[in-house]
């Protein structure tokens, strides 16, 4: 089979995934729903989420329009100095990346906000149908995201045959992910904090009281942050890892005159999606089984199917076994990182217990304990990423020059191969979380609540494993992007006939590199700080709006029948503010890349990316895990330990959880996207950095 | 003047510094003291601090003994495979580094615990004599530390003529600094937290109530953490920067057959100490002047004297002007880093105000605000260190191969040149802080308190500038240590006739390097976590002891006259616990270096050191600045803003301050030492890593 054959096969598998997603969507929609209250609230959430997405996409369209014009003018090279067709292709690819990702996000949100109510009602018929409704809702998202990613990469590459255009497509996906993930993260925590401050604290009304104008925004937040944001993030990683692998693979193929390396990327990508389809189709709870096992076992099934099928394909098509090995190592390490990192947030383990215990002595010790375990929790992923990069490099090094870095990129492809399954599991989380809330609002009774509780807790548990994959894969992907950056630089040197030696690496002892590294290391910290401060400012705005509604809408505060707050106003504020706060943070990261590049040239940029990756992974792991730890410690106390609800320990644990919220839902998970965006900017601008720099 | 001449001159200047320190010490001791209560408490603190130091030094002696035996057996090469004389010299140099640093710490503590009472009483005669007592007390420490460092480096190099022995001396200084800084940091926060928990929280007695068995330990803590710890830390940085510069300078001299580069290190070091002596001698408050100006202006005077004298020496002895330039750039950037970083902790600036404002809405927002500004505060130092490394490299690069890295090390020497002045200012802080407490306990009246308050606040303000120097210098020093590591590796290759190409740098794209970098980046986080958790555990032990005393000593709780708690028991616990908690953290860092080195060889170690430096600087800056910000926000609220004392904002600000305490006094400042220790271990073991490694 030639390269075109593999691309056609990829497109075919993507189409199968879409068909499967459509069937699942239809299945979910057909699930019975009778409870009016659930229907009503569910509708509000659906409309709110749609309002957010529409607003976000409108702003994004402007942003993407401006970016597309800049790309048209300047990339891959200034339009007046090269072939303008390339610039047009680049701009279109960039827009394509935005559109494909936006489409996947839209579908995901749509099904998630339907599946939540269905899951709640299905719980009346038992845990198994309820599980299936939640899981299949999530799987629609999983199938759509991965199908779109594979389709997009295959189509762009088929049409253009140009890997730089792929980077443009990937950049489109990244800039959308920045909006979706960081913007969604700000949105969700804005609403969460504002709802708590005005509702629970000022008025003393319960969390989900419909009188609170922020309550729908709060529920919408779970969906836009966890479903749409996570989907865009993994779409981005998936596209970036395939693009990086293709940039290097095609460069190798050009040297050897073959197409094996490019073909492998599509082949493995298609098999990964196929394995996810089978895994999702198999997912089912045993009669008295528990949902955690059901979720994890389908992940393991997918992993096994992937390993076996890729081995078969490698034998059949005479691919290099060493590269298969790299990809398998990536997958294996992903599983290990997930399982080990889980230790730090698992409520049956010592870190959660000790943090709960520390809370007995007040919030300062809750914070210190969480920070400490969060710091320690970075080890498994950092060491795991380091080892998998090392092993895959050494495995592929004997294949010839350039294969070592390509091996790392294939390890990233391996880790991300089963991302369809991962997203299915991840999107399951917010669906059953929402279902739990709806079951409570719909008065479905204690038995149903017990079921949704157990589904919800399974969602939190498997999240650890999936998050391990996501972080590990992002880490390997950005290392691969560093390789892609070098490829791009060397391509520019060759193309423009510059009298500069080819770049083979970045020497730490070169002060341009070191300077870049120190600046790059500062960026994730500053980016995180800007997002966290943005959440705070935005929450203040929403609190003002809530006060205005309470003051001006007669009967609202008192809960007069028929008086409904203007939910949409809060959603508008959360949306507008999220985007307003996000843009400076995103621009800061991009401008810093440009400044460093125009000061120290490609060497400084190489250092910058490295510092950015190292510090970014460190902070992302720290914040995500500390946040998860505080969240679970609070739940652990609430379940009756260390004094239980209302105790001093509980108050302290709640403070820890509040600190952890923007850590784990806003800043931490957005850092991956920040790194990818910056890497892509660097690759796309490499040709300019090469000739224009100060030192 | 030949190299020996410069070494003799260095020793002479060191002797002058000792004589000056002795005169200052004598002057401080001669200051009148009459208040019995102050005398009594001051004596307790003196004895407690002495008890801590004695205990610490006893444990350290065992530790150093074991380390010396290991060094004797294995370094610079296994004793059975090389010249055993080298091993003996190495072990002795190591012990010398310990002893010299311990001596300086002992003197510093001694004078600080005398000067505190003198400063308090002098305040009755006005602010000028009080300022002078505090400042001259601090200056004894400053002169002793720098004098000992210069003397030690000169003597070791004069006797041995061997730069590897210097690294041994430097390693001795580092391992003592690890005990003094991290151990002192655990001690001080242990006592602080235990005293607060049992005194203020449980019994509701004031902070410095003599009934509390932990109260003396708490006051001792200020001295052992801030005076002895800080002194050992800067002794360590000072020795490390000179050693790194000498390692590279001597290597260059050997190539050219001259002695210029080694001579410059001693010449500039001696001039720095001379400039500090003059600066200290000139320090005086104007008639109505304020203490901040007095402190800062003597720093600037010292800086100017240094720049002028080194320029003169460069002209006189025909040194390279480019190297002088590198050293001047280091000094200048140090000043700038200090001034800019000050913004984030200054109570007249927006970050402190905004954090105080956030506290009105509860402790979670205090924490989030502090974390955010702490993250942003890393920029000036990281960018500043990057720029000074870049500029000094480029300045010295034209001088020939190897000069560029030597230039960076001379920038570090430049930044640290005025460290005598820096330490004088820094040790002034805890002295006047203690004086303030003593003035309160001694009932010296409001006028005196006003004076000590203003002296204390000046101490906090200038701390920012001095801390900027310390961090910047540490950053450049560790970059220089990376250069020293390469020098050592290449020396080992040449000496042993190995068939390996010389190392010229570390390529980020080499997976051994990258693997090391990721692991190295995790170490400062884990090290910090272990220290913070250690503080918590240790505080629990002390709380138990306090409860035991309250339960078993009749009349203690009630404050019966003549009943005195067993202060020394608490001091023993704080001391023993500090060391017990510290050792695993220190060993973890060292063992990680060894593991990485034996897995991936010198390349992985190069990456490891880089990751360690980048992540270490990031976390050290973040924790130190966030801690300082929370501290000042609390003081800002206490001075009547945002509701003042007792308000909700105050409660929240106190929680922020408690979180910040181990950040800024235990973990943050210990990271520098951790980095230095690891760098030295790497350099000393380089010959072994070269031949024994897995991949």
pLDDT tens-digit map of A241-259 = 899 899 889 888 888 888 8
pLDDT of residue B611: 95
User: Among residues of chain B, what percentage have pLDDT more than 70?
Assistant: 98
SS3 label, residue A479: helix
Q: Which residues of B202-214 are buried (b: 16+ CB within 10 A; e: fewer)?
A: eeebeebebbbbb
Q: What's the pLDDT tens digit per position in A472-497?
A: 778 888 888 888 888 888 888 887 78
Taking the mean position of all CA atoms in its chain, how far away is CA A615?
A: 18
Alpha helices in A317-444 (DSSP H): 321-342, 350-359, 363-376, 378-396, 403-417, 419-441
pLDDT-derived band at B287 (thresholds 50, 70, 90) equals low
Residue B519 touches chain A, beta carbons under 8 Å: yes
Q: What's the pLDDT tens digit per position in A368-423?
A: 999 999 999 999 989 999 998 999 999 998 988 888 889 999 998 888 878 888 88
SS3 label, residue B495: helix
Q: State mean pLDDT over B666-683.
A: 88
Q: Name the β-bridge partners of B507.
A: A507
Of A498-512, B195-209, B220-234, B337-351, where does mean pLDDT reach its minimum?
Answer: B195-209
Q: What's the pLDDT tens digit per position in A118-177?
A: 998 888 888 888 888 999 999 999 999 999 999 999 999 998 888 888 888 998 998 888
For the ranges B61-70, B449-458, B554-563, the maximum mean pLDDT occurs at B61-70
Q: What's the pLDDT tens digit per position in A330-378?
A: 888 888 887 887 788 888 889 999 999 989 888 999 999 999 999 999 9
Cα A89 to Cα A163: distance, rounded to the nearest angstrom: 11
| pLDDT exceeds 70 at position A530 | yes
Greatest pairwise CA separation for chain A in angstroms: 78
SS3 label, residue A224: helix
Cα B61 to Cα A200: distance, rounded to the nearest angstrom: 58
Taking the mean position of all CA atoms in its chain, how far away is CA B431?
A: 17
Other CB atoms within 10 A of residue A271 CB: 24
Q: State mean pLDDT over A593-609.
A: 93
Nearest to B533 among A372, A522, A658 (CB): A372
Nearest residue in chain A measured CA to CA from B610? A508
pLDDT of residue A288: 64
pLDDT of residue B15: 95
Of A32-46, A182-196, A374-388, B451-465, where does mean pLDDT reach its minimum?
Answer: B451-465
| pLDDT exceeds 70 at position A208 | no
Cα B80 to Cα B523: distance, rounded to the nearest angstrom: 33
Asked if A424 contacts A138 with a C-beta cutoff of 8 angstroms, the reply is: yes
Closest by Cα among B285, B242, B607 to B451: B285
Closest-CA distance, A13 to chain B, in angstroms, reads 34
Q: State mean pLDDT over B137-166.
A: 90
Asked if A608 contacts A519 with a C-beta cutoff of 8 angstroms, the reply is: yes
For the ranges A54-63, A455-464, A528-537, the maximum mean pLDDT occurs at A528-537
Q: Name the β-bridge partners of A507.
A: B507
Taking the mean position of all CA atoms in its chain, how far away is CA B202?
A: 34
pLDDT of residue B464: 62
Q: What is the DSSP letter of B264?
A: H
* Contacting residues of B for A408, CB less than 8 Å apart: 511
Taking the mean position of all CA atoms in its chain, how far away is CA A496?
A: 37
Residue contacts between A and B (CB atoms, under 8 Å)? 214
Residue A511 touches chain B, beta carbons under 8 Å: yes
Closest by Cα among B606, B432, B580 to B519: B606
Touching B: A residues 175-214, CB under 8 Å: 197
Closest by Cα among B108, B143, B174, B54 to B430: B108
Touching A: B residues 643-672, CB under 8 Å: 655, 658-659, 662
Interface residue of B386, B617, B666, B693 to substitute, partner A, most A CBs within 10 Å:
B386
Angle, nearest 10°, between helix axes A363-376 and B511-552? 150
Interface residue of A529, A631, A682 to substitute, partner B, most B CBs within 10 Å:
A529
Asked if B669 contacts B625 with a C-beta cutoff of 8 angstroms, the reply is: no
* Contacting residues of B for A532, CB less than 8 Å apart: 368, 371-372
Closest-CA distance, B514 to chain A, in angstroms, reads 7
* Contacting residues of A for B482, CB less than 8 Å apart: 508-509
CB contact under 8 A, A525 and B373: no
User: Among residues of chain A, what percentage have pLDDT more than 70?
Assistant: 98
CB contact under 8 A, A405 and B509: yes
Residue A594 touches chain B, beta carbons under 8 Å: no
Q: What is the CA radius of gyration of chain A?
A: 24
Interface predicted TM-score (ipTM) of this complex, two decimals? 0.90
Q: What is the DSSP letter of A654?
A: H
| pLDDT exceeds 80 at position A512 | yes
| pLDDT exceeds 90 at position B56 | no
Nearest residue in chain A measured CA to CA from B483? A509
pLDDT of residue A448: 84
| pLDDT exceeds 90 at position B13 | yes
Task: Report residue B191 as tokens.
Answer: 């006592």
Other CB atoms within 10 A of residue B437 CB: 22
Residue A584 touches chain B, beta carbons under 8 Å: no
For the ranges B44-53, B467-476, B538-547, the maximum mean pLDDT occurs at B538-547
SS3 label, residue A207: coil
Touching A: B residues 369-388, CB under 8 Å: 369, 371-376, 378-379, 382-383, 385-387
| pLDDT exceeds 70 at position B393 | yes
SS3 label, residue B507: strand
Touching A: B residues 313-372, CB under 8 Å: 358, 361-365, 367-369, 371-372
* Contacting residues of B for A521, CB less than 8 Å apart: 382, 614-615, 617-618
A507 phi/psi in degrees, rounded to 5: -90, 125
Nearest residue in chain A measured CA to CA from B392? A511
Cα A101 to Cα A244: distance, rounded to the nearest angstrom: 18
* Contacting residues of A for B514, CB less than 8 Å apart: 386, 389-390, 479
> ω into residue A76 within 30 of 0, thus cis?
yes
| Structure-model confidence comparison of residues A56 and B527, the more confident one | B527
Q: Name the β-bridge partners of B8.
A: none
| Structure-model confidence comparison of residues B470 and B34, the more confident one | B34
Cα A528 to Cα A539: distance, rounded to the nearest angstrom: 17
Residue A618 touches chain B, beta carbons under 8 Å: yes
Task: Give, in degrees to the nearest 5, the angle at Cα A245 between A239 and A248.
Answer: 135
Task: Report residue B51 as tokens.
Answer: 């008890």
Look-up of token digits 């955010």:
B372
Closest by Cα among B595, B508, B693 to A389: B508
* Contacting residues of A for B509, CB less than 8 Å apart: 405, 482-483, 486, 504-506
Cα B447 to Cα B440: distance, rounded to the nearest angstrom: 11
CA distance to A334, B363, B580, per residue, from B624 (Å): 34, 19, 24
Residue B20 touches chain A, beta carbons under 8 Å: no
Cα B253 to Cα B426: distance, rounded to the nearest angstrom: 36
pLDDT of residue B144: 92
Closest-CA distance, A145 to chain B, in angstroms, reads 30
Alpha helices in A196-344 (DSSP H): 215-222, 230-256, 260-282, 291-316, 321-342
Residue B555 touches chain A, beta carbons under 8 Å: no
Instruction: Give one DSSP letter per residue of B318-361, joined into a string.
Output: T--HHHHHHHHHHHHHHHHHHHHHHTTT-TTSHHHHHHHHHHTT
Cα B478 to Cα B59: distance, rounded to the nearest angstrom: 28
Q: What's the pLDDT tens digit per position in B409-448?
A: 999 888 887 888 888 888 888 888 888 888 877 778 888 8
pLDDT of residue A616: 94
Task: Provide the phi-psi class of A122: left if phi over 0, else alpha when psi is between -120 and 50, else beta.
Answer: alpha
Cβ contacts of B614 within 8 Å, gap of 6 or more? A517, A518, A521, A611, A614, A615, B521
pLDDT-derived band at A274 (thresholds 50, 70, 90) equals very high
Closest-CA distance, B18 to chain A, in angstroms, reads 38
Other CB atoms within 10 A of residue A84 CB: 10
CB contact under 8 A, B511 and A408: yes
Interface residue of B508, B515, B516, B622 to substitute, partner A, most A CBs within 10 Å:
B508
Taking the mean position of all CA atoms in its chain, how far away is CA B22?
A: 23
CB contact under 8 A, A372 and B404: no
Cα A394 to Cα A383: distance, rounded to the nearest angstrom: 16
Instruction: Give one DSSP letter per residue of A540-570, joined into a string.
Output: HHHHHHHHHHHHHSTTTTTT-TT----HHHH
Asked if B674 contacts B524 with a C-beta cutoff of 8 angstroms, the reply is: yes
| pLDDT exceeds 80 at position A201 | no
B507 phi/psi in degrees, rounded to 5: -90, 125
Q: What is the DSSP letter of A448?
A: H
* Contacting residues of A for B662, CB less than 8 Å apart: 368
Mean pLDDT, chain B, whole residue set: 87
pLDDT of residue A665: 86
B212 phi/psi in degrees, rounded to 5: -75, 120
Q: What is the CA radius of gyration of chain B?
A: 24
Closest-CA distance, B626 to chain A, in angstroms, reads 12
CB contact under 8 A, A378 and B525: yes
Q: What's the pLDDT tens digit per position in B570-596?
A: 888 888 888 888 889 989 999 999 999
pLDDT of residue B465: 67
Closest by Cα among B335, B629, B374 to B468: B335
Parent domain of A466: 3-30+39-691
Cα B232 to Cα B226: distance, rounded to the nearest angstrom: 10
Cα B602 to Cα B593: distance, rounded to the nearest angstrom: 11
CB contact under 8 A, A511 and B358: no
Q: Which residues of A163-187 are buried (b: 16+ CB within 10 A; e: fewer)?
A: bbbbbbbbbbbbbbbbbbbbbbbbb
pLDDT of residue B660: 92
Handedness of CA B156, B157, B161, B167 (dihedral sign): positive
Cα A627 to Cα A660: distance, rounded to the nearest angstrom: 4
Nearest to B532 among A368, A517, A528 (CB): A368
Residue A695 touches chain B, beta carbons under 8 Å: yes
- Domain tally, chain B: 1
CB contact under 8 A, B532 and A376: no
Residue B498 touches chain A, beta carbons under 8 Å: no
| pLDDT exceeds 90 at position A191 | no
């Amino acid at each position: 089979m030639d390269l075109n054959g593999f691309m056609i096969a990829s497109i075919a598998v993507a189409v199968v995934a879409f068909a499967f997603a459509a069937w699942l969507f239809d299945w979910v929609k057909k699930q019975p729903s009778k409870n009016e209250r659930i229907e009503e609230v569910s509708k509000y959430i659906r409309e709110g989420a749609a309002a957010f997405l529409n607003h976000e996409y409108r702003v994004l369209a402007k942003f993407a329009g401006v970016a597309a014009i800049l790309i048209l003018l300047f990339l891959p090279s200034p339009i007046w100095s090269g072939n303008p067709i390339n610039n047009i292709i680049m701009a279109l690819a960039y827009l394509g990346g935005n559109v494909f990702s936006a489409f996947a996000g839209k579908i995901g949100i749509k099904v998630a906000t339907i599946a939540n109510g269905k899951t709640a009602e299905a719980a009346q018929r038992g845990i198994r149908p309820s599980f299936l409704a939640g899981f299949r809702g999530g799987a629609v998202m999983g199938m759509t995201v991965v199908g779109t990613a594979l389709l997009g990469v295959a189509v762009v590459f088929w049409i253009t045959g140009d890997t730089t255009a792929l980077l443009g497509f990937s950049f489109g996906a990244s800039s959308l992910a920045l909006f979706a993930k960081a913007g969604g993260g700000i949105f969700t925590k804005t609403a969460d904090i504002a709802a708590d401050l005005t509702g629970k604290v000022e008025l003393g009304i319960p969390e989900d009281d419909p009188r609170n104008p922020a309550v729908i925004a709060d529920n919408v937040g779970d969906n836009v942050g966890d479903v749409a944001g996570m989907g865009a993030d993994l779409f981005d990683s998936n596209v970036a890892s395939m693009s990086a692998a293709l940039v290097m693979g095609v460069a190798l193929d050009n040297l050897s005159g073959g197409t094996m390396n490019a073909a492998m990327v599509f082949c493995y990508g298609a098999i990964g999606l196929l394995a996810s389809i089978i895994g999702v189709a198999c997912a089912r709870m045993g009669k008295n089984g528990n949902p955690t096992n059901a979720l994890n076992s389908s992940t393991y099934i997918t992993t096994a199917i992937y390993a076996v099928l890729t081995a078969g394909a490698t034998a059949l098509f005479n691919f290099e076994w060493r590269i298969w090995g790299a990809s398998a190592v990536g997958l294996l390490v992903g599983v290990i990182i997930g399982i080990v990192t889980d230790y730090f947030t698992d409520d049956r383990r010592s870190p959660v217990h000790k943090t709960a215990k520390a809370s007995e002595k007040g919030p300062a010790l809750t914070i210190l304990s969480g920070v400490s375990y969060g710091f320690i929790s970075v080890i498994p992923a950092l060491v795991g990423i380091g080892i998998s990069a090392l092993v895959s490099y050494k495995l592929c090094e004997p294949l010839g020059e350039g294969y070592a870095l390509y091996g790392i990129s294939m390890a990233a492809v391996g880790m991300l191969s089963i991302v369809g399954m991962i997203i299915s599991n991840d999107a399951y989380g917010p669906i059953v979380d929402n279902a739990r809330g709806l079951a409570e609002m719909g008065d479905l009774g204690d038995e149903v609540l017990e079921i949704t509780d157990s589904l919800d807790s399974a969602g939190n548990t498997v999240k650890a494993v999936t998050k391990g994959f996501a972080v590990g894969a992002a880490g390997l992907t950005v290392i691969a992007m560093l390789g892609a950056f070098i490829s791009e630089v060397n391509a520019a040197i060759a193309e423009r006939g510059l009298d500069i030696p080819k770049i083979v690496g970045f020497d730490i002892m070169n002060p341009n590199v070191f300077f870049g590294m120190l600046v790059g290391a500062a960026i994730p910290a500053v980016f995180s700080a800007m997002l966290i401060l943005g959440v705070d400012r935005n929450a203040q705005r929403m609190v003002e709006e809530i006060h205005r509604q309470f003051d001006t809408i007669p009967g609202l505060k008192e809960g007069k029948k028929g008086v409904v707050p203007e939910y949409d106003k809060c959603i508008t504020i959360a949306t507008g503010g999220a985007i307003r706060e996000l843009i400076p943070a995103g621009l800061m990261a991009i401008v810093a890349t440009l400044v460093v590049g125009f000061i120290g040239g490609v060497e400084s940029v190489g250092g910058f990316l490295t510092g950015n990756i190292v510090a970014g992974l460190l902070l992302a792991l720290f914040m995500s895990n500390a946040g998860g730890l505080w969240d679970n410690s609070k739940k652990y106390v609430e379940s009756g330990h260390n004094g239980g609800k209302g105790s001093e320990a509980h108050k302290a644990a709640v403070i820890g959880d509040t600190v952890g919220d923007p850590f784990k839902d806003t800043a931490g998970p957005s850092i991956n996207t920040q790194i990818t965006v910056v890497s892509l900017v660097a690759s796309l601008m490499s040709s300019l950095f090469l000739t224009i720099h100060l030192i």
